[in-house]
Amino acid sequence: MSEAAILVSGLQKEFLLSHSGVGSLKTLALWWKRRQLEHLQVLRGLDFVVTQGQCMAVVGRNGAGKSTLLSLLARVYKPTSGTVEVKGRLAPLLELGAGFHPDLTGLENILFNGMILGLTRKEAMARTDAIVEFAELAHHIDSPVRTYSSGMLARLGFSVAIHVDAEVLIVDEVLAVGDFAFEQKCYKHIESFKASGGTILFVSHNMEAVRRVADRVVWLKDGQIEMDGEPDAVIRAYESG
């Protein structure tokens, strides 16, 4: 029996929203006393386990809590209650390129982000050629990333994330990060990663991508698990619901 790679138990996440604006500094103290706070419950007690080597997709309408779940797994947020445990090195592929410094070159950002994701500087430098080759950015790698298009940023971010020896990938709508040929290369890597025993949890609105990659699908609805099972069955229920 495969060991658990991701364990989620009783997971809840709540945000506080304020509906009272501040017109000026003079009204700040009054606003603080009278502000109206809404407790927005985004996730309502999720329980699931993803085993090593499994690829689980999360589907659901906008606002269902999908991206919040991934952010909790990536430790961007802390749970309001419940627990999240990820075993092994994690590479979050969320908003690719968002962590790049605009004034640094592509090469400098590779080293910087590689170390953030757990590599030593020596390890990051040793993988630079492979990262640049996969991203297909050899002619731009010495330019500041502020000059990159969104597609170039996404390709570089994806390439860094898949070269850090991660055991778990957390992916948010980033499989289509370039032209058709590059997209197919990304799918090929994802499939190779899964075949080698890597664990993947990803969110997508593209049901063809879900069918292609996922072994299992969880349907989130109003912050709860509506259905969890075999991809075709869950997708049929989701699309008809």
Could you tell me the CATH number of the domain that includes residue 226? 3.40.50.300
- Provide mean pLDDT across the span 142-169: 91
Residue-level pLDDT at 121:
93
pLDDT of residue 209: 87
Q: For residue 126, give the nearest of 138, 143, 106, 110 by alpha carbon.
A: 110
Indicate yes or no: pTM above 0.75. yes
Q: What percent of the chain has pLDDT over 90?
A: 63
Residue 195 lies in domain: 4-240
Give the count of domains, the chain.
1
Instruction: Judge contact between 57 and 214, C-beta under 8 A.
Output: yes
- Rounded Cα distance, 185 and 177, in Å: 10
Mean local confidence (pLDDT), 99-115: 93
What's the pLDDT at 20? 54
Q: Are strands 81-86 and 90-93 parallel, antiparallel or unpaired?
A: unpaired
Phi and psi (nearest 5°) for 80? -70, -40
Judged by DSSP in three states, 127 sits in: coil
**Range of weakest confidence among 34-48, 147-161, 210-224:** 34-48
Q: Report, as an integer, the average pLDDT of 59-63.
A: 95
Q: Which residue has the tokens 């699931």?
A: 48
Query: pLDDT at position 25, please?
Result: 57
Q: Is the pLDDT of residue 32 over 80?
A: no
Closest CA to 86 of 194, 168, 11, 31: 168
> What's the half-sphere exposure (Cβ side, CA atoms, 13 Å) at 207?
13
Report the chain's mean pLDDT, rounded to a whole number.
88
Token look-up 């990659």 returns 213
